[in-house]
Amino acid sequence: MKKLLDEIAELKLIRQQQQLVNTRTTRYGDRYKGEQADDMQIKKELKDLGERQEKIETMIHNMVTGKNK
């Protein structure tokens, strides 16, 4: 039972992180529609979003394959 509760907690954490990434991505997309972001700060933030997304994907992969145990 504890294992199941731990997995549910991990899924909730992943879901929350994914929602944050999605919200920020949408916000940046609305702000810079159709243009390349030239501002270095924006480029840094977009890179950070990409890295966060990769971490989420790794966490999900590790959960599915059992590497997180």
* Cβ–Cβ < 8 Å for 37, 43: yes
Q: Where are the beta strands (DSSP E) in the chain?
A: none
pLDDT of 35 reads 61
Instruction: For residue 18, give the nearest of 51, 48, 52, 44 by alpha carbon.
Output: 52
pLDDT of 34 reads 60
* Chain segment 2-32, per-residue pLDDT in tens: 888 888 999 999 999 999 999 998 888 777 7
* Chain segment 35-59, per-residue pLDDT in tens: 666 678 777 888 999 999 999 999 9
CA 19 to chain centre: 7
